[in-house]
Chains A and B, each alone.
Chain A
């Protein structure tokens, strides 16, 4: 009974091994997202700084290009350093990486094209950026079976919907800050907390 042959010749042990492998990969994928939790916090803070600069400081036009460039550079340098330290990767974490890379490419192309062609103040444009971020969170949540990240996806989509209904400057600013706080900073801190707990448990286990 322990090793029955199934229809297509796969034994029960084979299936159990496959399930165990998948479960390990899901856990490793979540760990990899948690390891990069600081990126969410960093981008949430960058949004706040850029918004603050654009509202309260001079040279408003430079706020977003400067802040986004700094964010991208810091992100690249830190990710490279982490990789150099030998962070483990599996197929699932590579899929998650593909999700965020595709989101970055889509947002960069879209934002630049909209800014250059003068469409950067349309409601559909603001909402679309929120939907891209929500889509990346949604796909990642489904792949990792992670309810909290699924909730974050719905926060981004909810804020995206709100942008269609509320479109004065102050309303857009408020919705943007709310999304950045709940969908980026809080989620990032939560992911970092999970990673810290895991690291502490690992240390205890070795001791």
Chain B
């Protein structure tokens, strides 16, 4: 009874092994997100700086706030990733690769979209701001589905709600507040939460060892 042959010739033990492997990969994928959650915190801070600069010092290079802060954020992200990849004990599995594909492609799409809008001076439109939040929500939702992580699913819902709210309120002031909440608070809070989750998991592993 313990090891009956399944329909397609796979034994029960084999199936259990596969399931365990998949569960381990999902857990590793979550940890991978946790290890990279400093990127969320970094971008939350970058967005807060750019927004504050634009809002509080409009006559002191205000229009240059985003064109300066975004490339600086991109350079810091790449530098941080390079250092992380070189550090000992850095490993990835298929689940991590999938999550990396999601965020890598989101970064590429967002970069092209933002650059095109800025070059053509359409970055004042509310639909532009809303689209950025919708894209962020999309990446969080896909990652949440891959990693079966409800907390990240919640982050996706908050981003989507923010995108819809920007279009619904249709005012510059409301957009600034929503942007501040989404890019500043949600990004940083989720980043810190994921970092903490990763540390807790690593701590448990260490204790077991």
Contact between chains at B122 and A124 (CB < 8 Å): yes
- With both beta carbons as reference points, the residue of chain B lying nearest to A104 in the complex is identified as B138
Separation of A95 and B100 alpha carbons in the complex (Å): 13
Contact flags (1/0) for A84-116 with B, using CB distance below 8 Å? 000000011011001101110110011001101
Which of B60-68, B75-83, B159-167, B190-198 is near enough to bind chain A? B159-167
27 A-B pairs with C-beta separation under 8 A: A94-B145, A95-B98, A95-B142, A98-B145, A99-B102, A101-B145, A102-B141, A102-B142, A103-B138, A113-B130, A113-B168, A114-B167, A116-B168, A117-B168, A119-B127, A122-B126, A122-B127, A124-B117, A124-B128, A127-B113, A127-B131, A128-B134, A131-B109, A135-B105, A136-B138, A138-B109, A164-B117
- With both beta carbons as reference points, the residue of chain B lying nearest to A144 in the complex is identified as B101
Separation of A18 and B120 alpha carbons in the complex (Å): 48
- With both beta carbons as reference points, the residue of chain B lying nearest to A102 in the complex is identified as B141
Contacts from A to B (Cβ < 8 Å): 18, 21-22, 25, 91-92, 94-95, 98-99, 101-103, 105-106, 109-110, 113-114, 116-119, 122-125, 127-128, 131-132, 134-136, 138-139, 142-143, 153, 157, 160-161, 164-165
Given the known interface contacts A113-B130, A124-B122, A128-B128, the answer about A139 and B94 at a Cβ–Cβ threshold of 8 Å is no
Separation of A22 and B105 alpha carbons in the complex (Å): 21
Q: Does B112 have its Cβ within 8 Å of any Cβ on chain A?
A: yes
- A98 proximity list for chain B (CB < 8 A): 141-142, 145-146
Contact between chains at A134 and B109 (CB < 8 Å): yes
Partner of B112, one of A118, A139, A157: A157
- B141 proximity list for chain A (CB < 8 A): 98, 101-102, 105-106
Contact between chains at B120 and A132 (CB < 8 Å): no
Given contacts A124-B117, A132-B138, 15 further A-B contacts (CB under 8 A): A106-B160, A110-B131, A113-B167, A116-B168, A117-B167, A117-B168, A123-B120, A124-B131, A139-B102, A139-B142, A157-B109, A160-B112, A161-B112, A164-B116, A164-B122
Given the known interface contacts A135-B105, A135-B109, A139-B101, the answer about A113 and B117 at a Cβ–Cβ threshold of 8 Å is no
Partner of B113, one of A95, A117, A142, A160: A160
B interface bracket (residues with beta carbon within 8 Å of A): 35 or more
Shortest 8 CB-CB contacts between residues of A and residues of B: A128-B131, A98-B145, A142-B101, A124-B128, A125-B127, A102-B141, A138-B105, A113-B167
Separation of A11 and B167 alpha carbons in the complex (Å): 55
**Smallest distance from the beta carbon of B44 to chain A beta carbons, Å?**
21
Q: Does B18 have its Cβ within 8 Å of any Cβ on chain A?
A: yes
Contact between chains at B21 and A18 (CB < 8 Å): yes
Contact between chains at B130 and A114 (CB < 8 Å): yes
Given the known interface contacts A98-B145, A131-B113, A138-B105, the answer about A110 and B120 at a Cβ–Cβ threshold of 8 Å is no
Separation of A125 and B119 alpha carbons in the complex (Å): 16
- B119 proximity list for chain A (CB < 8 A): 164
Q: Does B108 have its Cβ within 8 Å of any Cβ on chain A?
A: yes
Separation of A24 and B204 alpha carbons in the complex (Å): 33
Partner of B127, one of A102, A128, A143: A128
Partner of B125, one of A21, A22, A109, A123: A123
- A127 proximity list for chain B (CB < 8 A): 113, 116-117, 122, 131
Contact between chains at A91 and B137 (CB < 8 Å): no
Contact between chains at A128 and B113 (CB < 8 Å): yes
- With both beta carbons as reference points, the residue of chain A lying nearest to B127 in the complex is identified as A125
- B156 proximity list for chain A (CB < 8 A): 102
**Smallest distance from the beta carbon of B31 to chain A beta carbons, Å?**
15
Given the known interface contacts A124-B117, A160-B116, A164-B117, the answer about A119 and B135 at a Cβ–Cβ threshold of 8 Å is no
Q: Does B170 have its Cβ within 8 Å of any Cβ on chain A?
A: yes
Contact between chains at B142 and A99 (CB < 8 Å): yes
Contact between chains at B117 and A139 (CB < 8 Å): no
Q: Does B104 have its Cβ within 8 Å of any Cβ on chain A?
A: yes
Separation of A99 and B97 alpha carbons in the complex (Å): 15
